[in-house]
Structure 1
Amino acid sequence: MAKYKAIPQGFMTVGEVAKKMGVTVRTLQYYDKEELLSPSSESKGGRRLYTNKDLVTLHQIISLKSLGFSLGDIKQRLISLESPTDFANVLTKQADSIREKIEHLTASLTAIEQLKKEVLQMQTVNFKKYADIIVNLQMKNGSYYLIKRFDDDTLDHIRNRFDKESGLNFMDRFNRLSDEIIELQKASVSPESEKCQRVVKEYWGLIMEFTNGDMSMLPKLMEIGNIDTATNAWEERQKIVNDYLEPALQIYFSRLGTNPFEEIQ
Structure 2
Amino acid sequence: MAKYRAIPPGFMTVGEMAKKMGVTVRTLQYYDKEGLLSPSAESEGGRRLYTDKDLITLHQIISLKSLGFSLDDIKQHLISLETPSDVANALTEQANNIRKKIDQLTASLTAIEQLKAEVLQMKTVNFKKYADIIVNLQMNNEFYYLIKLFDDDTLDHIRGQFDKKSGLDFMERFNHLSDEIVRLKKDNVLPESEKSQQITKMYWELIMEFTNGDMSMLPKLMEIGQIDTAANAWEEKQKIVNDYLEPALQVYFSRLGVNPFEEAKK
Please state which band the TM-score falls in when normalised by the shorter chain: over 0.9
What residue number does 1:31 align with?
31
Aligned to 2:62: 62
Q: RMSD value over aligned CA atoms?
A: 1.6
Kindly state the Cα deviation for residue 11 of structure 1 after the two structures are TM-superposed. Answer: 0.9
Cα distance in 1 between the residues matched to 2:100 and 2:184: 40
Q: Structure 1 residue runs of 4+, over 4 Å off?
A: none
**Could you tell me the percent identity over the aligned residues?**
81
Alignment correspondent of 2:222: 222
Q: Which runs of 5+ in 1 are unaligned?
A: none
| 1:130 paired residue number | 130
In the alignment, what sits opposite 1:155? Answer: 155
- Structure 2 Cα separation of the partners of residues 232 and 119 of structure 1: 18
* 1:185-224 alignment, distance < 5 Å: 185-224=185-224
Q: What is the distance in 2 between the residues matched to 1:188 and 1:219? A: 29
- What residue in structure 1 maps to residue 92 of structure 2? 92
Which of 14-23 and 117-126 deviates more?
Answer: 14-23
Partners of 1:145 and 1:234 within 8 A in 2: no
Give the Cα separation in 2 of the matches to 1:125 and 1:244.
Answer: 36
Q: CA deviation at 1:142?
A: 1.3
State TM-score, norm by structure 2: 0.93
Deviations 1:15-60 (A, max 9, x none): 1111211111111111111111010011233321111111111111
Secondary structure in 2 matching 1:264 = helix
CA distance in 2, matches of 1:161, 1:182: 27
Residue 144 of structure 2: aligned partner: 144
Q: Distance in 2 between matches of 1:129 and 1:256?
A: 38
Farther-moved stretch of structure 1 (183-192 vs 135-144) = 183-192
Letter in 2 for 1:167: G
What are structure 2's unaligned runs of at least 5 residues?
A: none
Q: Contact (CA 8 Å) 1:10, 1:51: kept in 2 or not?
A: yes
State the 1:120 CA deviation. 0.6
Residue 5 of structure 1, CA deviation: 6.3
- Match of 1:42, SS state, is strand
- Normalised by the length of structure 1, the TM-score is 0.93
Measured against aligned partners, the alpha-carbon deviations of 1:43-80 in whole angstroms (never above 9, x if no partner) come to: 23332111111111111101100100011111121111
1:80 maps to 80
* Conservation of the 8 A alpha-carbon contact between 2:177 and 2:203: yes
Q: Can you list the C-alpha shifts for 1:171-223, whole angstroms capped at 9, x where unaligned?
A: 11111211222222233322222222211110000001111111111111111
Structure 2 counterpart of 1:7, one-letter code:
I
Q: Secondary structure at the match of 1:207?
A: helix
- Structure 2: which amino acid aligns with 1:82? E
